[in-house]
Structure 1
């Protein structure tokens, strides 16, 4: 079948969901009447923010810079791509990476690595990762050219898409979710372009978008609906990741309306409509499949302004955060959403309460992306409150502080973490996460700056001519100190987030003078002035111990100290010799018993005492069977059993 841009456009429009189709065939789909793109803020990215020593984020990023991320061999990542293109392998390279990257998600790690290496190169000023990312792009360009299939590039043949589309006799060749892997690769290419200025990466990504645009244009609306319907199986083999997101990002660069049209083909009416109405049909769905879709929905809605899609993406976030999340900000049992409100009681995982299959890391990786897209839109402090909770207590906690190894699930009640030894999806997002720590701390719009996270770092805001240095580790009770290293010519408003968790009134000082600002929890304290180099803002955020009750069993509680979720040490009894393995390797090992906290008080300060010498650790006292248990930040407690949920009686 031959294609031209006009026939492709007509076919593409025919396949678009009803809520985003133009009024006449042959026109580009556009937002409904009287809608305009959202006037968004922008997150400062990895090349604009540098982490400073003095936080667990800096330490884990360094672990990956020096160890985990540095250990990958680009030629092994290229193995399946070169094999498909019939290009020679480098000497000594006889296979790719074992596991999913050589199996049903063949080639996905290459995209993840490109995203991670591109960010790490600029976040840490590392020439090694710039060289590796540029090398990967150049070799992928050669593979695409050698394949000579109208821009097609993957580590598997187009037969996987033939099979997905239901073509008779098509063999998927062991590949599942082919668009998922395509999205990872395209995202990696766009990151190489955005962070490293690699023009060849953009060229390759545009070629891929054009190929898949043509491919989708050859299908009718019923076929499109079938291949993108992901709510009919708990483990959908047609999972397509955040295709809408990456194609929207491509549109922002290319300004080609066709790229936005293709992006919106992945925003399906069966998903958007109920969400726009606030309906919760998430129970039983594969969580990360649909969180990734919501990321794309939010990003494309920010660009085209469709009110239904704007509302749907916001409602999705609220439903997940308030009805489907655990105390650490993560979600899912065995990768699935449970019924609304399920948390500590019987679950979708065979009725088990708090099984070891809770909180897949990929889900929270994407929930942070979604939160950032929504914050760009409306600057609500509750989005930043959630971002902080999930970043500290899930994403950071998924990385071992001694080795940098990463986890798939985060158990909560008597189990231990398993550190991954293969190329799982959470391995891919895991190597991205540490390079993304720099992002989400600061946002800006016009002459306003939002400080959302209190992580030691230095911001270079080139448009405003401003350099701002942040110091102080709030997890250890330190004050936040913001120093204007360089000031621009114009006045700037600094919006300092006042977290939900503050235990006492907040104080804000400018050059040692207390400021009269509104500083209530879950808000922003704003300071506007013509800043001068040497100006110092000191922010005191009083921490305290508090309990949070599980939604479904109020007597099951978790314990926080400020933003930090505390976990109780339960020892190593009946643990394997190594806690490294397949994601499911140790799921059948029984959990350790978790003793009840027996106290007449619901105030944890009455039965927790600070541990001498460690401001972030506590020990149970006057707590009945739980007496003597030491609690530490979940992100610091590894290689042993633990619990973060407790029965308080």
Structure 2
């Protein structure tokens, strides 16, 4: 089994990756750790210092950002940046104050923590996908703190960090002691992050069986058992809820040797990468997996949640350590360049929640102090981790792997050598790898990744002369020799023009230059804040470029192609419909007419509510009584039962006529008739029959009195209803 080289021994050199790290560091330094500790102080009965931050930090997920922030600061401190060493020391000392003040070992920032965990201590579990005992994902929240403390204990060798997390681990054991197996599985239906990984890590560091028992109790059978059996159970599931569970299985395999955990991780990775991923390496639309191999209808403004790629990158590193195949490193390269690097605004350091692949759309970024989404937290970590997964060493300390090509250097203490990579890749193709042996002669094997997107082997030179390297089945070029000071390997990485089809749509293509996804620059995006991730009213969405010849990148008009990771503040297209020139001549008018209709819909849309999905339901204040949730064909829905109801809010315009558009599914057992109210006023009474209706899209024009002078409206569904798959509020064009 391989080991990734310790991040403390890797240093980035000037490059787009180092620039992203530096912009991220500026943001981290501008934040006040004591404001991030606000909820921790309150739960400890201590005075707060400064106002709580905005966004998600003001909701019941308060405190989640601190763990991410701690992990990011630890990474930068491990590189020797004393500014972050001081921040980490401050956070740890304040967390100790909080833990000591409580005397039960708990530390956490979520509101009502004592009630939530007090009920668990009594065996009380009320769980939905993202709520546990009426709190937003409390275990997910705590996992961020576990991870940050474990990072500090490992990378900074902090005994205080370990003492804090060790005690927090024992608090967890005490809180969950009265839960039977059924209660555990019910609890795990609510997203719990990487709790299994954290306890597997605590077990690895302490050899204490209670920690292993907890790691194995955080095993969600309804998802993980099918994966162990090789079944793709992902369609319809929330993406980032699942990946940390799989990382937990990966760590459990490493500490127990149980092959079941290995199978789960390998099967999941292959399902995601081969059947659910877009060209940039990300996956999911509206945070969820769809049908395997079918992405044609899933190019939306909410593709590719960035958290998911953060976690897939982590999982990939585990798999590579078990079986060092170049395909794992190829995927890591794809997602590192085309999703993670592409998700940061290089001017401000702000990050994306979703990275949209909808033609004509644009990247929407966080704000410095009023977002604090999950993808802000993983974004902070993403841009401190570019040195991860570049260099690996084997257990015998006789082989070094170089898996990524970016300007950086490392020291491998066990081999007594250093490596320096100098390259402009992916902007340039030349690579120099210089060996430092400190005047010694050091025998070891060097393995360089042969990119899977190249059809010919890399041509290597050693000290200016061609050298033969064995290409092994794992996809690496292997050089075994006695190395000397200043030995240099040089090579060029060709960057071929190539294309990849969208899964399920062979004539919708993405263009690449080597590993780099290219995008069409379609003009300026709306100013920040105008669209909130969607389209402003009456926006002019440019027509999509149509690809006539992918081999020559010929379009029906002149198109500027640029690396997707470099495109910011611009409208973009990543996937292009392919036509032959004759077919385009015949179908252009029809194609553009259809496109114009779609654009008109996009620009009159104000708000969209996706039922039974975590973030949309929180954003739209969903609540109710006697309602159900489910999914059909990977589409989620809410449905009021007999005597039940549910309600949600939609943003509106105070001075424009509006209309409500609902997509209803067919009732399954009996015909239904129910009421839709807006602001307490009935606006529709849909009637659906079991036999006649498949899906029904209904538009309800709203009286102006219901929206006049308002910024939001309340929609209520009453009575035994059909399943609601989607609700939209849009401008009514008369």
Mapped to 1, the partners of 2:576 and 2:472 lie a distance apart of 30
Q: Does 1:623 align with 2:568?
A: no
Q: Is the 8 A contact 1:334 1:357 kept in 2?
A: yes
2:577 aligned partner: 647
The range that moved more, 155-164 or 181-190, is 155-164
Mapped to 1, the partners of 2:200 and 2:372 lie a distance apart of 27
Q: Among 401, 406, 409, which residue is 1:455 paired with?
A: 406
Mapped to 2, the partners of 1:389 and 1:462 lie a distance apart of 29
Q: Does 1:399 align with 2:344?
A: yes
Q: Is the 8 A contact 2:530 2:536 kept in 1?
A: no
2:37 aligned partner: 78
Alpha-carbon deviation of 1:151?
A: 4.2
Query: Where do residues 1-80 of structure 1 align in structure 2 (5 Å cutoff)?
Result: 40-53=1-14, 55-65=15-25, 67-80=26-39
Q: Is the 8 A contact 2:132 2:138 kept in 1?
A: no
Mapped to 2, the partners of 1:172 and 1:327 lie a distance apart of 35
Alpha-carbon deviation of 1:505?
A: 3.9
1:133 aligned partner: 88
Q: Is the 8 A contact 2:324 2:474 kept in 1?
A: no
Alpha-carbon deviation of 1:216?
A: 1.9
1:443 aligned partner: 392
Mapped to 2, the partners of 1:554 and 1:254 lie a distance apart of 52
2:360 aligned partner: 414
Q: 1:86 to 1:385 in 2, by over 3 A?
A: same
Q: Does 1:372 align with 2:328?
A: no
Alpha-carbon deviation of 1:154?
A: 4.3
CA displacement, residues 449-468 of structure 1 (integer Å, 9 cap, x when unaligned): 11010010010111211111
CA displacement, residues 418-449 of structure 1 (integer Å, 9 cap, x when unaligned): 10121000000000111111111111112111
Q: Does 1:224 align with 2:184?
A: yes
Mapped to 2, the partners of 1:498 and 1:208 lie a distance apart of 44
2:527 aligned partner: 577
Q: What SS does the corresponding residue of 2:435 show, helix, strand or coil? A: strand
Q: 1:492 to 1:646 in 2, by over 3 A?
A: same
Query: Where do residues 475-494 of structure 1 align in structure 2 (5 Å cutoff)?
Result: 475-487=426-438, 490-494=442-446
CA displacement, residues 246-270 of structure 1 (integer Å, 9 cap, x when unaligned): 1122222222222122111112332
Q: What SS does the corresponding residue of 1:411 show, helix, strand or coil? A: coil
Q: Among 87, 96, 108, which residue is 2:64 paired with?
A: 108
1:17 aligned partner: none
Alpha-carbon deviation of 1:404?
A: 0.9
Mapped to 2, the partners of 1:260 and 1:567 lie a distance apart of 47
Alpha-carbon deviation of 1:43?
A: 0.8
Q: Among 496, 510, 513, which residue is 1:558 paired with?
A: 510
Q: 1:532 to 1:79 in 2, by over 3 A?
A: same
Q: What SS does the corresponding residue of 1:555 show, helix, strand or coil? A: strand
Q: Among 260, 264, 272, which residue is 1:308 paired with?
A: 260
Q: Among 178, 190, 198, which residue is 2:158 paired with?
A: 198
1:320 aligned partner: 272
Q: What SS does the corresponding residue of 2:234 show, helix, strand or coil? A: coil
Q: Is the 8 A contact 2:511 2:550 kept in 1?
A: no
Structure with a larger share of its residues in strand: 2
Query: Where do residues 145-224 of structure 1 align in structure 2 (5 Å cutoff)?
Result: 145-156=100-111, 157-162=113-118, 167=124, 175-224=135-184
Q: Is the 8 A contact 1:111 1:186 kept in 2?
A: yes
Q: What SS does the corresponding residue of 1:556 show, helix, strand or coil? A: strand
Q: Is the 8 A contact 1:333 1:358 kept in 2?
A: yes
Q: What SS does the corresponding residue of 2:176 show, helix, strand or coil? A: helix
CA displacement, residues 592-612 of structure 1 (integer Å, 9 cap, x when unaligned): 34434342x441xx23xxxxx
Q: What SS does the corresponding residue of 1:494 show, helix, strand or coil? A: strand
Mapped to 1, the partners of 2:150 and 2:331 lie a distance apart of 27
Q: 1:113 to 1:588 in 2, by over 3 A?
A: farther
Q: Is the 8 A contact 2:117 2:175 kept in 1?
A: no
CA displacement, residues 320-365 of structure 1 (integer Å, 9 cap, x when unaligned): 000011110001100000010122x224xxxxxx110100000000
TM-score (norm 1): 0.84
CA displacement, residues 351-395 of structure 1 (integer Å, 9 cap, x when unaligned): xxx110100000000000000011111111111110100110001
Q: What SS does the corresponding residue of 1:554 show, helix, strand or coil? A: strand
Which structure is higher in RCO with an 8 Å CA cutoff and minimum separation 6? Answer: 1
RMSD after superposition: 2.2
Alpha-carbon deviation of 1:175?
A: 2.8
Mapped to 1, the partners of 2:4 and 2:536 lie a distance apart of 38
2:567 aligned partner: 637
CA displacement, residues 181-233 of structure 1 (integer Å, 9 cap, x when unaligned): 1100010011111121211110010111111112222111111111113xxxx
Mapped to 1, the partners of 2:228 and 2:24 lie a distance apart of 40
Q: Is the 8 A contact 2:20 2:346 kept in 1?
A: yes
TM-score (norm 2): 0.74
Unaligned runs of 5+ in 1: 1-39, 230-237, 348-353, 608-621
Q: Is the 8 A contact 1:509 1:537 kept in 2?
A: yes
Query: Where do residues 287-306 of structure 1 align in structure 2 (5 Å cutoff)?
Result: 287-306=239-258
Q: 1:596 to 1:632 in 2, by over 3 A?
A: closer
Mapped to 2, the partners of 1:498 and 1:60 lie a distance apart of 26
Q: What SS does the corresponding residue of 1:577 show, helix, strand or coil? A: coil
2:620 aligned partner: none
Q: Is the 8 A contact 1:122 1:195 kept in 2?
A: yes
CA displacement, residues 86-117 of structure 1 (integer Å, 9 cap, x when unaligned): 21233xx1x22111123121101110011000
Aligned pairs, number: 567
Q: Is the 8 A contact 1:134 1:198 kept in 2?
A: no
Q: 1:278 to 1:387 in 2, by over 3 A?
A: same
Q: Is the 8 A contact 1:419 1:580 kept in 2?
A: no
1:4 aligned partner: none
